[in-house]
Chains A and B, each alone.
Chain A
């Protein structure tokens, strides 16, 4: 009887995992109708969406960052809004403000006019062009899932995902994101130039007469279900230990800090880094047909989860040391739990 119950449970978990994987694959297929190449970026954005995190996309202009998010919103069929950040943008411009409106009876009253921040999928384009005042307006929305204007607090509807883009080249007149806000992004994905063979596909898809149409695959409620499935993935102690060691290795002078970390890192990852590693690894485990995460899943998501949480010091910048090279070293140095090495 117990075995049958176990089998039933197993079959239910297997069904959930299979559903998760199929929806994920369908969304990916729809997005890649428009988006050529960049499989890591597409998977990263989808993983962040179903893991309940926010994404920071960094790349030079013209690589399809905005188009990727727009395609994703089309495929998921959720309320989408785009904010093009500029230096003169104020918090009220994105959160909303009280406006004087005329009622049916002809009287006047103050009513709340929602800003673009109140949506399901937010594309914050060139987020580093906004002033810190406006950037900080995103903090509450990203972490608490709520917006406070005056004495009025609005709870944002799930799924809520902010996908911000920034240009690494044009740094003049920009305001680099503060560490507190960087930490709220689950992933930081680097969008690179396409491969040579991908250019042919880009030309064919974008300069022809045919228009690509993105179908609605799922909706917001389905995404919330997928998040619950992902959170249910089992986590063995080995994986927990490894994730903790990785995060501690990014912190200078910690027990697992490498020499490179002590030399070049001024600020390491916060506990949000462990949370991010676990959530993203759970999605990876389901996509890899497993019900519990492994250390390989953690390794796979270590770069996008940790690279924006490792703040380098001046010496590192002078020596051209990048956060990815620090993570390289950490992955090499930090031993697996119960490792035979």
Chain B
């Protein structure tokens, strides 16, 4: 009894200790899990800081009220608070029962559930022999467990890997970027070089046109002055850029006049332009018309020009035409020249497309010729005598025997002899159950199911002819017919039957 009480005390103590271990384990486990996500939490504040700082800068608001130092502190504090909250939640939410705590000792010390079983059997009212033995068996193990300090429960290493530290670096970058956004002025050039009034006067649609012509400008500058085209794109804010933009706009309008079919909404906007601009438009139209390849005036001018200049011009123009990215430039400044270029390219296209067609046709012809050659080969192979078997060549006649106008040939078995695969024409269709090879290679058609028509050759049978003279006359007696003699009672039955049959019609007649 004392042993049992001692065991109960030991088990109580072990349960308390086990519960403590498990709570600590729960705490560690919760921290471990929180550490697994903390790298994401650490990104929240810096990311929000950068986004809000940028929004403040562009919108001119002041949503982010913290100064950079407080922001850095907040970025450090949030992950720590997250870990603490997770740890507290994990610690509180973990329920530790008595059996749970004893199972910990059983597992850690390798007692094979002895403590759990003894604790359960101790609380039961009646014990069997083996249950009592199990309880008694657990006493030394409980004492041993009481005197043993349980090692710390092994938990996995914090799930922070080297790659996840990258999130911390990103967080620092975000913080620095946000601070820079707040501290450093955004674009001082805008304030130093104010936009000219002429440029401000332009509406947005013309701005779009200006952007388009910045691509076109180098071509004309090369044609006229051989100057590098960088000035156009770089000096956007300067006066030169404004003038060039006006020139280019006038050229564009001239092009639109030259091509009235091109409907552009910007035409309505050009109504309000000044007279100088309209003059420029005229000049631009003349220059652009000269540049057109399909224009007769230009052809005349080209004919007047020396051949070297023409070659140089062609060389200059070809690369521009060949550039795939300058489609807008072609469409604007090329004018009809681009149209002729398209024609030539379309001609080339037709040539190119016609070539494959021809090739296809050639390949089709080649296929047909191949087929013919195959047929020839098959025919020749069929006609060849089978030397190794010492037989005449196999006849390929496919007609069944007995047809009118054709001689019966037993060799006409429809087999082409040794050679390539048979085609579907005729031969395989006559054979039942033979998968017909399709025209496509490596594909076997299952073939049609047909009722097999056997090719039966009638064999004549020699029968002696019967002469009519040998036949007797109809009136002649056939002689005696062998028959069994009936018994008297059967004779009576038969005679009675026939006599009764004869009587009936006579009686009906009467």
A contacts, CB < 8 Å to B: 2-3, 6-7, 9-10, 12-14, 16-17, 232-234, 236-239, 288, 290-292, 294-297, 336-340
* Contact yes or no, A234 B134, CB < 8 A: yes
B136:A290 contact, CB within 8 angstroms: no
- Sampled A-B contacts (13; CB under 8 Å): A3-B2, A9-B133, A10-B132, A16-B129, A234-B133, A236-B117, A238-B117, A288-B112, A290-B112, A294-B113, A294-B117, A295-B113, A297-B112
Closest to A11 in B: B133
Which residues of chain B are near A7, meaning CB under 8 Å?
A: 136
When distances are taken between beta carbons in the complex, the residues of chain B under 8 Å from A16 are: 129
User: How far is A337 from B114 in the complex, measured between Cα atoms in Å?
Assistant: 14
> Contacts A338-B103, A340-B107: A9 and B132 contacting too (C-beta < 8 A)?
yes
Q: Verify A340–B113 contact, CB threshold 8 A.
A: no
Q: Are A236 and B121 in contact (CB under 8 A)?
A: yes
* Complex contacts, B127 vs chain A, CB 8 Å: 6, 9
Q: How far is the CB of A227 from chain B (nearest CB, A)?
A: 14
Q: Per-residue 0/1 for B114-137: is the Cβ within 8 Å of any A Cβ (1 yes, 0 no)?
A: 101100110000011111111111
CB pair A340 B3 closer than 8 Å: no
- Residues of chain A within 8 A of B113, CB atoms compared: 236, 238-239, 292, 294-296
Q: Which of A238, A288, A292, A295 contacts B134 (CB 8 A)?
A: A292
Contacts A234-B134, A238-B113: A12 and B129 contacting too (C-beta < 8 A)? yes
User: Which of A232, A297, A339 meets B103, CB within 8 Å?
Assistant: A339
A296 touches B133 (CB 8 A): no
Interface residues on B, range: 20 to 34
With A238-B99, A338-B100 as known contacts, state yes or no: A290 contacts B128, CB within 8 Å.
no
Alpha-carbon gap, A16 to B113, bound state (A) = 21
Query: A292–B130 contact, CB under 8 A?
Result: yes
Q: Does B22 contact A (CB under 8 A)?
A: yes
**B132 and A2 contact, CB distance less than 8 A:** no
Q: Is B82 an interface residue (CB 8 A)?
A: no
When distances are taken between beta carbons in the complex, the residues of chain B under 8 Å from A297 are 112
Q: Provide the main secondary structure of the chain A interface.
A: helix
Give residues 455-479 of B contacting A (CB, 8 Å).
none
Q: Determine how close the nearest CB of chain B comes to the CB of A88; give it in whole angstroms.
A: 37
The reply to whether B133 and A13 contact each other, CB–CB distance below 8 Å, is yes
- Residue of B1, B100, B113 ringed by the most chain A CB atoms within 10 A: B113
Provide the B1-40 mask, 1 if CB < 8 A to any CB of A, else 0.
1111000000000000000001001000000000000000
Contacts of A290 in B (CB 8 A): 112, 114, 134, 137
Q: Nearest chain-B residue to A229 (Cβ)?
A: B130
CB distance from A286 to the nearest CB of B (A): 9
The chain B residue with its CB closest to the CB of A239 is B113
Bound form: Cα–Cα A232–B137 in Å: 16
A14 CA / B130 CA spacing, docked (Å): 8
Whether A234 pairs with B117 at a CB distance below 8 angstroms is yes
A277 to chain B, nearest CB (A): 15
Return B152 CB to nearest CB of chain A, in Å: 13
Cα–Cα distance between A288 and B113 once the two chains are bound (Å): 13
> Which B residues are in CB contact (< 8 Å) with A9?
127, 129, 132-133
B interface residues with partner A (beta carbon < 8 Å): 1-4, 22, 25, 97, 99-100, 103-104, 107, 112-114, 116-117, 120-121, 127-137, 153
- Cβ contact of A6, chosen from B100, B120, B136, B153, cutoff 8 A: B136
Which of the listed residues A13, A296, A336 has the most CB atoms from chain B within 10 Å of its own CB? A13
* B contact face: mostly helix, strand, loop, or mixed: helix
A2 to B2, CA, bound (A): 10
A290 to B103, CA, bound (A): 17
Kindly provide the distance from the CB of B374 to the nearest chain A CB, expressed in whole angstroms. 43
- The distance in angstroms between the C-alpha atoms of A336 and B104, with both chains bound, is 11
Given contacts A13-B129, A290-B137, A291-B134, contact A296 B112 (CB under 8 A): yes
The answer to whether A14 and B133 touch across the interface, beta carbons within 8 angstroms, is: yes
A325 and B504 alpha carbons, distance in the complex (Å): 97
- Residues from chain A with Cβ under 8 Å of B134 in the complex: 234, 290-292
Report Cα–Cα, A36/B112, bound state, in Å. Answer: 31
Q: Closest CB of chain A to B460's CB: distance in Å? A: 53
Of B97, B117, B128, B130, chain A has the most CB atoms within 10 Å of the CB of B130
Q: Bound state CA distance, A95 and B60, in angstroms?
A: 100
Chain B neighbourhood of A336, CB < 8 A: 103
Complex alpha-carbon distance, A208 and B242, angstroms:
114
Contacts of A13 in B (CB 8 A): 129-130, 132-133
The answer to whether B22 and A340 touch across the interface, beta carbons within 8 angstroms, is yes
| A340 and B25 within 8 A (CB) | yes
Is the pair A294, B103 in contact by a Cβ cutoff of 8 Å? no
Contact A3 B104 (CB under 8 A): no
CA distance A76 to B80 in the complex (A): 71
Residue in B4, B22, B130, B153 whose beta carbon sits within 8 Å of that of A3 in the complex: B4
Name the CB-closest residue of A to B3: A3
Q: Are B104 and A294 in contact (CB under 8 A)?
A: no
Most chain B C-beta atoms within 10 Å of own C-beta, residue among A233, A336, A340: A340
State which of B2, B97, B132, B133 has its C-beta within 8 Å of the C-beta of A338: B97
**Smallest beta-carbon distance A252→chain B, Å:** 29
Q: Are A291 and B1 in contact (CB under 8 A)?
A: no
Q: Is the CB of B22 within 8 A of A233?
A: no
Contacts of A296 in B (CB 8 A): 112-113
User: B104 near A340 (CB under 8 angstroms)?
Assistant: yes
User: 7 more A-B contacts (CB under 8 A) besides A6-B132, A17-B130, A234-B128?
Assistant: A3-B1, A3-B2, A7-B136, A13-B129, A288-B112, A291-B131, A294-B113
- Candidate in A6, A16, A292, A297 with the most chain B CB atoms within 10 angstroms: A292
> Known contacts being A3-B1, A3-B4, A238-B103, is A233 close to B130, with CB within 8 Å?
yes
CB distance from A278 to the nearest CB of B (A): 13
Shortest distance from the beta carbon of B113 to any chain A beta carbon, whole Å: 4
Q: A338 CA to B4 CA in the complex, in Å?
A: 24
Smallest CB separation, B431 vs chain A (Å):
34
Query: A2 CA to B439 CA in the complex, in Å?
Result: 98
B99 close to A338 (CB less than 8 A): yes
Q: What is the bound-complex CA distance between A273 and B128, given in angstroms?
A: 25
A55 to B506, alpha carbons, bound, how many Å? 95
Beta-carbon contact of A291 and B4 below 8 Å: no
Report the nearest A residue to B106, measured CB to CB: A294
A17 to B136, CA, bound (A): 14
